[in-house]
Structure 1
């Protein structure tokens, strides 16, 4: 029972469950942001390594649903379409994961939060930031590598993918499925990497397993909202959420 609570008092553990429920709902509605919400909220009362470990299993399980929601053939096709991004992400998750106990937390949060906030805010302001189509392959490799570098350390590799999907104006269903596929494969890589670093251990994974149930419940509730969103509103909600999560990361970096 102590392992499942992550060493937390029952009231604090209940807060972790509530945060995960909300993160699952947001993920179901817009297709991403579960790790962003969980890490940014958990960091207020958990050590960074426990915060990262806590999101591993909820991320893995919910992305199984998201990736295969339109069936196996669609997920396989998406994997091939975004294969460069996937390769870059997975390889550099494995490369950067050992740095989780070395890099200063404030430095990382700031370098992640500022680009996210700037990109999404400019999009909301109507500034065209779409990547030129002849640079698409280069951008896919570069953003995949960037996502992997951040992902191994923080458990967050979604923002670079979202930047890419927004830039190529991917249709809503394809964008959500692409996020599910990339996040699923990345979650497997993250689990493998942190089994090696020791961040994922019996104690932390028991805590992570306890968070799966509220994550799945929130995801199911969020799906109901996602199905009623039109593409433009979906894109705008994505941008608004990026701004809010980016500002929260910057706030944590500044306040320590």
Structure 2
């Protein structure tokens, strides 16, 4: 059993309040922010366990609202299968790496995601390429998920490059994040990383995550989304670089 001191509990509550707020504002970012900030105070493998419940519930919430869930599943099931297989194949990466290596890998994933968000390259996937590219992107996302606990690369840029209608994009992101969360949970359980204290910490983190998400959604219309988005990615870049330098130095 791993003890969670009061300072760690407070850090978890503030982390998921902020992570939920970001997700409420822009529709994604909860696992990315949570893993990045928790990675400052605990090993990434433990942070990934705590992430499971808030990530799963908020993504199911996001998944439930949107046009024709069945059609979204039918279109993207090859990608979801790839995510599952990729996470399963790389399940030992997060568990087997030293905490320093895992934190450095996490920092690299955060920095890469931030750069992609700031540059906003005009990516576009031709419709004929989707049939073979989706499963490959899924496998790559699964491996990155297994290694870092972050499941946005390359899934998010790929889905954005498909030029989906906004509600469909948000729903597809919710589906991808939900499958990634379940696959990550299975991989962590497979390697015996679920500890009772961490499991309770994950459940307790749900409340601040939901509160932050509700706050973010309520403020979405009052703040220029582009300004918030840029600040978010700049902060993420700084956090990612700090984790890399801290654990590779």
TM-score after normalising by structure 2: 0.86
| 1:212 and 2:206 aligned | yes
Change (3 A) 1:246 1:170: farther
**1:75 pairs with 46, 57, 69, which one?**
69
- Distance (Å, rounded) in 2 between the aligned partners of 1:237 and 1:139: 31
Partner of 1:64: 60
Counterpart of 1:222 in structure 2 is 216
Counterpart of 2:14 in structure 1 is: 18
Instruction: Say whether the 8 Å CA contact 2:43–2:103 is kept in structure 1.
Output: no
Residue pair 1:89, 1:148 contacting (<8 A) in 2 also: yes
The structural deviation recorded for 1:139 is 3.1
Other-structure match for 1:130: 124
Which residue number corresponds to residue 202 of structure 1?
196
Matches within 5 A, 1:176-187: 176-187=170-181
Alpha-carbon contact 2:31-2:55 (below 8 Å) kept: yes
Q: Deviations over 1:93-119 (max 9, x none)?
A: 122122213332255235424532442
What residue is the counterpart of 2:134 in the other structure? 140
Q: CA-to-partner distance for each residue in 1:23-42, whole Å, 9 max, x for gaps?
A: 01111221111111011101
Q: For residues 55 and 209 of structure 1, do their structure 2 counterparts lie closer, same or farther at Cα, with a shift above 3 Å needed?
A: same
Kept after mapping to 1: 8 A contact 2:106/2:240: yes
**Any conservation in 2 of the 1:195–1:201 contact (CA below 8 Å)?**
no
CA gap 1:114/1:132 in 2 versus in 1, 3 angstroms: farther
The 10-residue stretch of structure 1 (100-109 or 194-203) with the greater mean CA deviation from structure 2: 100-109
Report 1:93-172 matches (<5 A).
Answer: 93-103=87-97, 104-109=101-106, 111-123=108-120, 127-172=121-166
Partner of residue 240 from structure 2, selected from 246, 249, 252: 249
| Alpha-carbon distance between aligned partners in 2 of 1:243 and 1:170, rounded to the nearest angstrom | 26
Q: Given the superposition, is the C-alpha separation of residues 14 and 118 from structure 1 closer, same or farther in structure 2, using an over 3 Å criterion? A: closer
Residue in structure 1 matched with residue 25 of structure 2 by the alignment: 29
Q: Secondary structure at the match of 2:45?
A: helix
Structure 1 residues 109 and 11, CA gap change in structure 2 (3 angstroms):
closer
Deviation digits for residues 42-88 of structure 1, max 9, x if unmatched?
11111222111110111111111111023xx7222211222222111
Deviation at 1:225, TM superposition (A): 3.8
C-alpha spacing 1:172/1:235, structure 2 compared with 1 (3 Å)? farther
> Take 2:176 and 2:169, find their aligned partners in 1: how far apart are those partners?
11
Indicate the RMSD between aligned Cα atoms, in angstroms.
Answer: 2.6
Q: Is the 1:139–1:164 Cα contact (8 Å) retained in structure 2?
A: no
Structure 1 residue 229, shift from structure 2 partner:
8.4
After TM superposition, the runs of 4+ consecutive aligned structure 1 residues lying more than 6 A away are none
Long gaps (5+) in structure 1: none
Partner residue of 2:50 out of 33, 47, 54: 54
CA distance in 2, matches of 1:45, 1:115: 22
